[in-house]
Amino acid sequence: MGKRIDELQIHEKHYVQIREQVKNDPYAQALGIQLTKLEAGFAEAVLDVQSHMVNAYRTVHGAVIYALADHAFSAACNAYGRTSLGLSTTIQFIESAKPGDKIVARTTEIKRNYRTGFYRTDIYHGQNLIATMDAVSYRKGQFFIELDEQE
């Protein structure tokens, strides 16, 4: 049986490398999404809504809200340096947002085990909850960072 890896210790030791990897998402960058917080099992991302990000009703397109939530989810589930992929998501849209609004997604880890992780993302405009997303990740066996031999 292999040595048990302390993922919290890996998060703390390799934080800078992990943060750089998860924040350098070309799609999120193209939308203007910024990763503002990254902790073990938690991430926050923000987006200033632009006029081209709306639907025919002049409210923020659901795909934009989803992209923000998905980026926060991706950062949170990869915060340990272990390659994790989204398996499923369910999003509920509660209120709309408009161009000029700043929307914030906060993802919290509910539970993780060796192969799966469960997450909840809340998306806000100010104090108003505008959407929620529940997500499950698949945790691969490898790390996307270089680990020391003793880790």
Tens of pLDDT along 25-54? 999 999 999 999 999 999 999 999 999 999
- The chain-wide mean pLDDT, for the chain, equals 94
Residue 150's pLDDT is 58
The pLDDT > 90 percentage for the chain reads: 90
Residue 1's pLDDT is 40
Under 8 Å between Cβ of 85 and 137: yes
SS3 19: helix
For the chain, which domains are there? 7-141 (3.10.129.10)
CA 101 to CA 146: how far, in whole Å?
39
Average pLDDT over residues 106-115: 96
Residue 27's pLDDT is 95
Q: What is this structure's pTM?
A: 0.94
